[in-house]
Chain A
Amino acid sequence: MSRPGTKRKVGVFICHCGGNISDVVDVKAVREFAGAQDDVVLATDFRFMCSNEGQERLQKEIKEKGLDGVVVACCTPKMYEELFRSKAEEAGMNPYLLEIANIREQCSYAHRHEPQKATAKAMRIVKGQVEKVRKLRPLEVKTAPIHPGVAVIGGGISGIHASILLANLGHKVTLIEKSPTIGGNMARSVKTFPTDDCAMCTLSPKMNEVYNHPGIDLLTYAEVKDAKRSPGKFTLTVEKKPRFVTDACIGCNRCTERCPVSTAKSPIQVSSEWDQGLAKRKAIYLPFPQALPQLWTIDADHCFYFQRGGACRVCQMVCPAEAIDYTMKPETVGLEVGAVIVATGWKEYDPTPLGYLGFGRHPDVLTQMQVARMLDYMGPTKGVVSRPSDGKPAETIVMVQCVGSRGAPGDPDTHEYCSRVCCMVAVKHASLIKKARPAAEIYILYNDLRAYGKGFEEYYAHSMELGVKYVRGLPGKVHTDGGKLRVDVDDMLTGRRLQIPADVVVLSAAMEPAPIDSILSSLHLDKTPDGFIKEYHAKINPTETAVKGVFIAGCAQGPKDITDSIAQAGSAAMSAAVFLGSGEMTLNPLVAEVDPALCRACDRCTEVCEFDAVRVDPDRLVAVVDETSCEGCGKCTVVCPTGAIGVRQFRKPQIVATIDALAPVAVSP
Chain B
Amino acid sequence: MTFEPEIAAFCCNWCGYAAADQAGAAKLEYPAGVKVIRLMCTGMMDPYYVLRAFERGFDGVIVIGCHLGACHYKSGNVQAQDQVKRVGQVLRALGLGESRLMMTAASAAEGSVFADTANAFVEKVRKLGPSPLREVVAQ
Contacts and interface: CB of A to CB of B under 8 A. Distances in A.
B24 A634 contact: no
28 contacts: A76-B24, A78-B18, A105-B21, A105-B23, A106-B20, A106-B36, A109-B25, A110-B20, A111-B30, A117-B4, A117-B33, A529-B69, A590-B40, A608-B79, A610-B74, A633-B41, A634-B39, A634-B41, A635-B41, A635-B44, A635-B79, A638-B44, A638-B45, A638-B79, A647-B44, A659-B8, A659-B49, A664-B57
A520 to B, nearest CB: 13
A656 interface: yes
Contacts of A106: 20-21, 24, 36
B52 interface: yes
B49 to A, nearest CB: 6
A118 B21 contact: no
Nearest to B20: A106
Closest 3 CB pairs of A and B: A634-B44, A665-B57, A105-B24
B92 interface: no
A477 to B, nearest CB: 36
A658 B8 CA distance: 11
Interface of A: 76-78, 102, 104-107, 109-114, 117-118, 120-121, 124-125, 128, 526, 529, 590, 608, 610-611, 631-635, 637-638, 647, 650, 652, 655-656, 658-660, 662-665, 667
A359 B43 CA distance: 47
Contact of A638 (B8, B40, B43, B52): B43
Given A121-B35, A664-B134, A610 B25 contact: no
Nearest to B26: A109
B28 interface: yes
Given A650-B44, A662-B37, 20 more contacts: A76-B24, A105-B22, A109-B24, A110-B20, A110-B23, A110-B27, A110-B28, A110-B32, A112-B27, A120-B32, A590-B40, A633-B41, A633-B76, A635-B44, A656-B48, A659-B52, A659-B53, A663-B6, A663-B8, A664-B6
A635 B73 contact: yes
- Give the interface centre of B24, B33, B40 by most chain A CB atoms within 10 Å: B24
A663 B56 contact: yes
- Give the interface centre of A78, A111, A664 by most chain B CB atoms within 10 Å: A664
A529 B72 CA distance: 15
B40 A526 contact: no
Interface in B87-114: none
A610 B75 contact: yes
Interface of B: 4, 6, 8, 18, 20-25, 27-33, 35-41, 43-49, 52-53, 56-58, 69, 72-76, 79, 83, 115, 134, 137-138
A112 to B, nearest CB: 7
Nearest to B6: A664
Contacts of A76: 21, 24
A106 B25 CA distance: 9
- Give the interface centre of A114, A637, A663 by most chain B CB atoms within 10 Å: A663
A114 B32 CA distance: 8
B21 A634 contact: no
A245 B116 CA distance: 69
Contacts of B49: 655-656, 659
Given A633-B73, A635-B76, A662-B37, A667 B56 contact: yes
A662 B79 contact: no
Contacts of B75: 610
B50 to A, nearest CB: 10
Contacts of B74: 526, 610
A118 B30 CA distance: 11
